[in-house]
A and B are shown apart, each in its own frame.
Chain A
Amino acid sequence: MNTSWNCTLINQLNLIIAMPNDKNEILNEITNSDYKYGFVTDIETEFAPKGLSEDIIRYISQKKEEPEFLLDFRLKAYHRWKEMKHPRWAHLTIPAIDYQDIIYYAAPKVKKGTSSLKEVDPELLKTFEKLGIPLEEQKRFTGVAVDAVMDSISVKTTFQETLNKLGIIFCSMSEAIKHHPDLVKLYLGSVVPYADNFYAALNSAVFSDGSFVYIPKGVRCPVELSTYFRINAAKTGQFERTLIVADEGAYVSYMEGCTAPMRDENQLHAAVVEIVALKDAEVKYSTVQNWYPGDKNGKGGIFNFVTKRGLCKGSYSKISWTQVETGSAITWKYPSCILQGDNSRGEFYSVAVTNHYQQADTGTKMIHLGRNTSSTIISKGISAGFSNNSYRGLVRVAKKAENSRNYSQCDSLLLGDKCGAHTFPYIQVENKSSIVEHEATTSKISDDQLFYCKQRGIDTESAIGLIVNGYAREVLKQLPMEFAVEAQKLLSISLEGSVG
């Protein structure tokens, strides 16, 4: 399985980095290909009026028939958000965003009382089929339970029965709020408080849906859980909120994918993901982010301002983030781990690809609070075209986090002389028994490497494919095998649009 995954990847890269022998021509060819998920589904959608106000929040809350505590949470967040300023510290050029010009709630109209796949709007199913996630097929063959979120509403969660038997809760956030309000109340906002930052506050105020996962004590989730996000309607923002709780000794692997249609205007995506891992629990979170990156001239595309954070609450817990960032006009995203429990572990593996006029400022935070905690950061940036790609990370070892260990490695690969690659690591160590290491390199594909490959009979395009693949391999091998079908498709397309 492992080898076939890697082979297909090489094939894709070969396919992408096609034909001409001249390196520049190859790069041009790659950089000129289009985004394949840019279609729009013509589906009846229900909108909230444009803009943001208390009324809108009440409207959303009412629409979703939410309990009182959630409305309070939203309103508190909203009032806090009004006082906050848009963060400016990232290495990004963010055009002014008119927050009153966004539709905060858009939902595909679904007939009431759908209980099986057959009852789901065929247009919707077609959309997901186009995207390469046939729900039916997935249910039957891949053993992946999918929770698909279109615009703001969770469309269908498959594979529910198997999960129910084990006591695993995997449903949309709205359902969770209805059926498991205690769990939601206990954990919502416990990792990312409503006033955490500008976008998190905005999300807390207006979040419409998302996924909720709860793995009971000692249960190892037998399947990979997966959510698929898609922005379909124009002028809307997507504000989903995901909450994953792994109780003591539980294990889950969760995956997320996303796409959006091609539009000339920018669309905002401000999500929040919270993960809680109790004692001995392990959560593996993988994502392939493929929002529409804008066209070749940097017009349009998604602004992806996401707050993702995991809390290793109990001892010996572990949270692992793997991300393949290929889409979005602007990415502002720092999946983080708070290592609170003793001996807990955080991992971050990332490949970030930017092309054309894309901008990415992404990285992680590892906050060591417990004793003997350890973390690993592997980040690979690839920039092409006129793009800017930054790694920004924080490793903080608190006084009480004795014997903590961190290893970070962040490499950047530059394809072309118009793009930029930057590294901004922050390291803070407050005790004498911990060891923190950080290293970073920036380079291009060297002529020596190419020469070595060509000398051995590998043509230029295959050689570049081989080198890029080898460069990103360390991260790609962290992706769960079951993600392969979906991720391969997504990756090939996004790489086609962005990688050389």
Chain B
Amino acid sequence: MEILNQSFIDTSFWEEIFSQHRSIITQYDTPWITQMRLDALEKFSSLGIPDQSHERWKNTDIRKLLTKGWTFQFKPPEKPVKVEDFFLCEVQGFDTLLITLFNGWYTYKNAPLRILPDGTVIGSLRAALVEAPEIIENYLGQKADFSQNAFASLCAAFASEGFFIYVPDGVQLQKPIQMVNVVNYSEPLLMQTRNLIIAGKGSSLQLLHCDDSNNNEAAFTNSLTEIYVGEGATVDYYKLQNINDHSVIEHNAYIYQEKQSLCNTYSINLHGGLIRNETYNYLAGRHSEGNHFGLYLMDKNQQADNLIFVDIAATDCMSYALFKGVLDDYAHGVFNGHILVRKDSQHTQAYQSNRNILLTDKALVNTKPFLEIYADDVKCSHGATVGQLDKDAMFYLRSRGIDQDNARLLLMYAFAAEVLNRINIPALKDRLDDLVKKRLRGELSICDQCVLHCKSPEKPVVFDIDLSKI
């Protein structure tokens, strides 16, 4: 019998926690930030933890997960964390600028903020609060409206750590930046982290955001990421989520795009008790483009819940969303797509597609692609399918001497490849390709599997197919 702690779904509990730890939480704050926290907390209290009567939480019972009871860690670890202990190798041929969080706290060798020769700043948000408050005040919470989002408000109230990335105008970053949050804690831990990413005018940036478990203990990550994409800038944001079956990720991303900017997001959900990604993409400037791709491969009792809200508030914008899922065992896949074309956002083109494969009768899919349109000169469409592997394709492969298992794998891989092929970093694409193949074969276990902390370089995975027979 699980012990449930009902107080976690009670807003007054959170208010109390906040007031108890207020001095630590607000330790590095400017008065402005503290005020923002209080506003957010008030907002959270009025919203409450959403239950399933809430439209956007209809298919996911987050209250049940919260009542399992969690511990907090309001202070950074006292001893410096040895990054090497859990990151043994960088993936070969995949050179990134690496920044890491350990149990929600920034880890570093030299300084919490690194300034690259081209002026790019990467590092800890907590350090940035102290060193560059004026930038923070201009952007933090300024371009995102999460007043209706309880978890984002909660995170805004509590989080005092996270990633901070600032790319100055005109800078094209050559290497991708990799942000990794690794969890390894002896007790069920609830972390709240807040990330701020600013891409200046005409800059370009590739981001890889990994969430990983390093042991088998449950963890609850509530994070809030704000991305500001300046005029003409390009941001690719890859989210790779691979956590253990007891863990929960509740991730809110708010993307604000200026004119002629481009933002692509990719969310690859490989493992996780509950992975919930909410992406709010606000296209504020003309000719901006926001694309969202997702792949979820779930089994056991896992649940993947992706919510994409594209808010088009300018003319001549484009948006494309493609989410694909393979669900095995008792897995549950949820997709909420929502395109809002505001009044006078003419010449919009927006497309949305969600496709699912169910492998068992116990698996479940809920999909809701919404269109909400207030402008007439638009081309919008959406599609959703739920089905099985194509029988004809299966027959084709079988008739050429490929056995059932391999044929199934091949077809599933082909299904997933449509999303993988959108990835713009070749080295990452190869790595994910391998990971997905392993995942589909059931060889990907929960530990030691991330893009980063693999102890040995990945062996290439090949399908056992006698090509001469094809």
Contact A424:B368 (CB < 8 A) given known A435-B386, A435-B388, A440-B383: yes
Asked if B74 is an interface residue, CB under 8 A from chain A, the answer is: no
| A:421-464 near B, CB below 8 Å | 421-444
A423 lies within 8 A of B386 (CB): no
Q: Which residues of chain B come closer than 8 Å to A427, judged between CB atoms? A: 365-368, 384, 386
Q: Which residues of chain B come closer than 8 Å to A423, judged between CB atoms? A: 369-372, 382
The residue that B361 contacts in the complex, of A418, A432, A436, A444, with Cβ under 8 A, is A432
- Give chain B nearest CB distance to A93 CB in angstroms: 14
Q: Which residues of chain B come closer than 8 Å to A419, judged between CB atoms? A: 374, 376
Q: Which residues of chain B come closer than 8 Å to A412, judged between CB atoms? A: 371, 373
Contact string, B341-363, partner A, CB cutoff 8 A, digits 1/0? 00110100000000010111111
Asked if B142 is an interface residue, CB under 8 A from chain A, the answer is: no
Contact A442:B387 (CB < 8 A) given known A420-B372, A427-B365: no
Give A420 to B361 CA distance when docked, in angstroms.
39
Asked if A220 is an interface residue, CB under 8 A from chain B, the answer is: no
| B:353-412 near A, CB below 8 Å | 356, 358-388
Q: Which residues of chain B come closer than 8 Å to A414, judged between CB atoms? A: 373, 375-376, 378
Q: Which residues of chain A come closer than 8 Å to B344, judged between CB atoms? A: 417
Give A416 to B343 CA distance when docked, in angstroms.
11
The count of residues in chain A whose C-beta lies closer than 8 Å to any C-beta of chain B is 37
B382 lies within 8 A of A430 (CB): no
Asked if A484 is an interface residue, CB under 8 A from chain B, the answer is: no
Query: Nearest CB to that of A445 among chain B residues?
Result: B376
Q: Which residues of chain A come closer than 8 Å to B385, judged between CB atoms? A: 435-438
Q: Which residues of chain A come closer than 8 Å to B55, judged between CB atoms? A: 89
- Give chain A nearest CB distance to B92 CB in angstroms: 38
The residue that B386 contacts in the complex, of A418, A421, A434, A439, with Cβ under 8 A, is A434
Contact A439:B388 (CB < 8 A) given known A422-B370, A426-B366, A430-B361: no
B378 lies within 8 A of A442 (CB): yes
Tell me the total A-B contact number using a CB cutoff of 8 A.
Answer: 119
Give A324 to B375 CA distance when docked, in angstroms.
24
Q: Which residues of chain A come closer than 8 Å to B362, judged between CB atoms? A: 399
Q: Which residues of chain A come closer than 8 Å to B346, judged between CB atoms? A: 417
Contact A420:B374 (CB < 8 A) given known A429-B365, A439-B382, A442-B381: yes
Asked if A415 is an interface residue, CB under 8 A from chain B, the answer is: yes
Give A429 to B327 CA distance when docked, in angstroms.
11
Query: Nearest CB to that of A414 among chain B residues?
Result: B376
B376 lies within 8 A of A416 (CB): yes
- Give chain B nearest CB distance to A409 CB in angstroms: 10
B388 lies within 8 A of A438 (CB): no
Q: Which residues of chain A come closer than 8 Å to B380, judged between CB atoms? A: 441-443
The residue that B368 contacts in the complex, of A397, A426, A433, A436, with Cβ under 8 A, is A426
Q: Which residues of chain B come closer than 8 Å to A416, judged between CB atoms? A: 376
Contact A429:B372 (CB < 8 A) given known A436-B387, A438-B384: no
Interface bin, chain B: 35 or more
Query: Nearest CB to that of B364 among chain A residues?
Result: A430
Q: Which residues of chain B come closer than 8 Å to A434, judged between CB atoms? A: 386-387
Q: Which residues of chain A come closer than 8 Å to B384, judged between CB atoms? A: 425, 427, 436-439
A438 lies within 8 A of B369 (CB): yes
Contact A422:B375 (CB < 8 A) given known A429-B356, A429-B386, A440-B381: no
- Give chain B nearest CB distance to A372 CB in angstroms: 15
Give A443 to B374 CA distance when docked, in angstroms.
11
Contact A429:B364 (CB < 8 A) given known A422-B373, A424-B370: yes
Give A436 to B55 CA distance when docked, in angstroms.
22
A432 lies within 8 A of B363 (CB): yes
Q: Which residues of chain A come closer than 8 Å to B361, judged between CB atoms? A: 399, 402, 430-433
Q: Which residues of chain B come closer than 8 Å to A437, judged between CB atoms? A: 383-385, 387
Q: Which residues of chain B come closer than 8 Å to A442, judged between CB atoms? A: 371, 373, 378-381
B387 lies within 8 A of A435 (CB): yes
B388 lies within 8 A of A415 (CB): no
B343 lies within 8 A of A433 (CB): no
- Give chain A nearest CB distance to B211 CB in angstroms: 28
B387 lies within 8 A of A439 (CB): no
Q: Which residues of chain A come closer than 8 Å to B376, judged between CB atoms? A: 414-417, 419, 444
Q: Which residues of chain B come closer than 8 Å to A89, judged between CB atoms? A: 55
- Give chain A nearest CB distance to B335 CB in angstroms: 9
Contact A443:B371 (CB < 8 A) given known A417-B343, A427-B366, A431-B358: no
Give A449 to B381 CA distance when docked, in angstroms.
18
- Give chain A nearest CB distance to B354 CB in angstroms: 9
Would you give 22 A-B contacts (Cβ < 8 Å), ordered by A? A397-B386, A412-B371, A414-B376, A417-B344, A418-B343, A423-B369, A423-B372, A424-B368, A425-B368, A427-B368, A428-B364, A429-B364, A432-B361, A432-B363, A433-B388, A435-B385, A435-B386, A437-B383, A438-B382, A442-B371, A443-B379, A444-B376
Closest 9 CB pairs of A and B: A414-B376, A429-B386, A441-B381, A423-B371, A442-B380, A432-B358, A435-B387, A439-B383, A420-B374
Interface residues of chain B, those whose CB is within 8 Å of chain A, are 55, 343-344, 346, 356, 358-388
Interface residues of chain A, those whose CB is within 8 Å of chain B, are 89, 91, 397, 399, 402, 412, 414-444
* New contact pairs (15) apart from A428-B367, A436-B385, CB-CB < 8 Å: A91-B372, A414-B376, A418-B343, A419-B374, A422-B370, A424-B370, A432-B358, A432-B360, A434-B387, A439-B382, A441-B380, A442-B371, A442-B380, A444-B376, A444-B378
